[in-house]
Amino acid sequence: MLNIRMVVGIVVLVSSGVFSQETEMHCGVKVIKNATEYAFNLKDSVKSARFFYSYVKEGLGKDERGRVIIRNFNRQPFYVEFDPYGMLKKQILFSGKADFADAPVDSSKAEFYEFDNNNKDRTSKYNFKIKKEQVYPVYIEDKIDINYTVKITHPDVFIFKHIYSYIYNDKGSIIKDFSYTISDDKTGEITDKDLHILKVYEYDDKDRLIKQSLFAGQYGRELGNFTKMSSTIGLCDDAHLSYKYDDRDRVIETSLNCGTTVVQKDEYIYHPDKNFVATIKRFMIDPSMGGYYRQNTILYYNEQGDMIEINHINNPRESWDKQPEYTTTWDGGPLTMKYDYEYDRHNNWIKCRMYLEENKDEPTIMAERVIEYYGKE
């Protein structure tokens, strides 16, 4: 078990004098609509997005049809709605048969997110800036979160509330990050038992984040695990995230570790001429936790940050050039799956054709998104 000292209710505001060169800084608040952790990859002033399947190939067996619907690596919630800040307001994960039609949204099936939009929490946290904006889908926990509450309706039921507080150094960088989860609808003070995770930050001589040590609080210990990157990690000594950079301060590797054991590692390869991630080489010690088929996976992306191909690799992570030993996944799918897209003028995809069988000439399934924007389209 981890032995940590609990610290509660600490919020240290960053003074305005820390950031003297505003033109070189970027907003340090995590925006859900385009954060890697949420995988929406939505650009511009999106108000809502509705996801549904408009085509499934005929002749698929029951098991095969289930595989391509559930495990296509591009499935999204049926409906999401955002506030003008890009924070989640409403989410419907699945909608039964409505997932296959341009159906109306049934709010009785929704989760509602209430962010502290107009109080001291949001106002103070928007003072926080970061030097480098990493591109999607790079995973790095370098931004701060706004407090929020999750409820469901019919009847109106409280689920939990997340509270985030931070301590900064004299350079304005985070050194400690406290994440609390309150699972009852109380109005009293935060207590030790509410602490989910404490993160302790380390930086290199260029003030780049290189390590985040992860300590489970009482709430985290009761859960017994937490999720980072695409993996669920149990309680262990020296749990941490680590980051490596190139000479342009771009993240080229993110890893989740239990001591010296690598739980997940993502290597980012950038396009040679343009600043976007073209390839991710992903290792996962237990791929089933993230819904993957092999310990090693190669993912390819286009300039919009959308995945265009995924390859599940059979060989050990030390040898990327060895040929796969098998041609299909354990549930009968191909080791290679491909995707192509149609976009709106905001570079958000509105149609995705997925090639999830060995035959890459005909799409297996097609998804669409109806996207609404704030203001003029």
* Residue 29 · residue 128 · CB < 8 Å: yes
Dist CA 242 CA 231 (whole Å): 15
Dist CA 173 CA 131 (whole Å): 10
Look-up of token digits 């669920």? 232
Give how far Cα 310 sits from Cα of 45, 266, 354, Å: 29, 14, 11
* Residue 239 · residue 4 · CB < 8 Å: no
Identify the band that residue 8 occupies on the pLDDT scale cut at 50, 70 and 90.
very low
Instruction: State residue 217's pLDDT score.
Output: 92
Of residues 9 and 131, more confidently modeled: 131
- Write the pLDDT tens digit of every residue in 44-96: 999 999 999 999 998 888 888 887 888 788 888 889 999 998 999 999 887 66
User: Does 109 map to a domain?
Assistant: yes
User: Does 9 map to a domain?
Assistant: no
Look-up of token digits 């690799």? 313
Does position 330 have pLDDT exceeding 60, yes or no? Answer: no
Identify the band that residue 305 occupies on the pLDDT scale cut at 50, 70 and 90.
very high
Instruction: State residue 107's pLDDT score.
Output: 80
* 3-class SS shares of the chain: helix, strand, coil, % to 5: 10, 40, 45
Instruction: State residue 99's pLDDT score.
Output: 63
How many domains does the structure of the chain reveal? 1
Please enumerate in sequence order all residues whose Cβ is within 8 A of that of 198, keeping only pairs 6 or more positions apart, or say none. 4, 7, 176, 177, 178, 179, 214, 215, 217
DSSP of 7-32: --S---PPPGGG---GGG-EE-B--G
User: Does 151 map to a domain?
Assistant: yes
The reported pTM is 0.86
The DSSP symbol for 336 reads: E
User: Does 285 map to a domain?
Assistant: yes
Domain interval for residue 306? 16-373
- Tell me what the pLDDT averaged over the chain comes to: 83
User: Does 1 map to a domain?
Assistant: no
Burial of 100 (0-12, 13-18, 19+ CB in 10 A): middle
Does position 106 have pLDDT exceeding 60, yes or no? Answer: yes
User: Does 8 map to a domain?
Assistant: no
User: Does 333 map to a domain?
Assistant: yes
User: Does 2 map to a domain?
Assistant: no
